[in-house]
Amino acid sequence: RKEVEQDPGPFNVPEGATVAFNCTYSNSASQSFFWYRQDCRKEPKLLMSVYSSGNEDGRFTAQLNRASQYISLLIRDSKLSDSATYLCVVNIPSRGKLIFGQGTELSVKP
């Protein structure tokens, strides 16, 4: 079983749609969580951290459920420019490294 698993893609949605991605992690020692965005043929960049109480940044909302060991990313009113691959990342301090999920591809169509 992979340490970090994401919804399989691709997600094809129309502009203005709301889309949600889920990510599950297997190591209960995981302490911090992030969503990264990767545009085609570009390097990943941090989109947002995920806090225990949930957090929002404009059209983006991240949630963490420690009991069920999953995190989610909700994108409201999706834009064409949101088309990218979204990577779930988990930090396990005892492992000393950041674990990336395989990513979920989002394609927003006009």
Partner 1 sequence: GAGVSQSPSNKVTEKGKDVELRCDPISGHTALYWYRQSLGQGLEFLIYFQGNSAPDKSGLPSDRFSAERTGGSVSTLTIQRTQQEDSAVYLCASTGTGRRTGELFFGEGSRLTVL
Distance in Å, CB of 92 to partner 1, minimum: 10
Distance in Å, CB of 14 to partner 1, minimum: 24
Amino acid at residue number 79: K
Backbone dihedral angles phi then psi of residue 82, each to the nearest 5 degrees: -80, -10
3-state secondary structure of 83: coil
C-alpha 94/C-alpha 32 separation (Å) is 12
Tell me whether residue 91 or residue 107 sits nearer to partner 1 (CB atom).
91
Choose, by CB under 8 A, the member of 17, 22, 27, 32 that binds partner 1.
32
Distance in Å, CB of 16 to partner 1, minimum: 28
Quickly count: other Cβ atoms within 10 Å of residue 90's Cβ: 26
Choose, by CB under 8 A, the member of 27, 70, 99, 107 that binds partner 1.
99
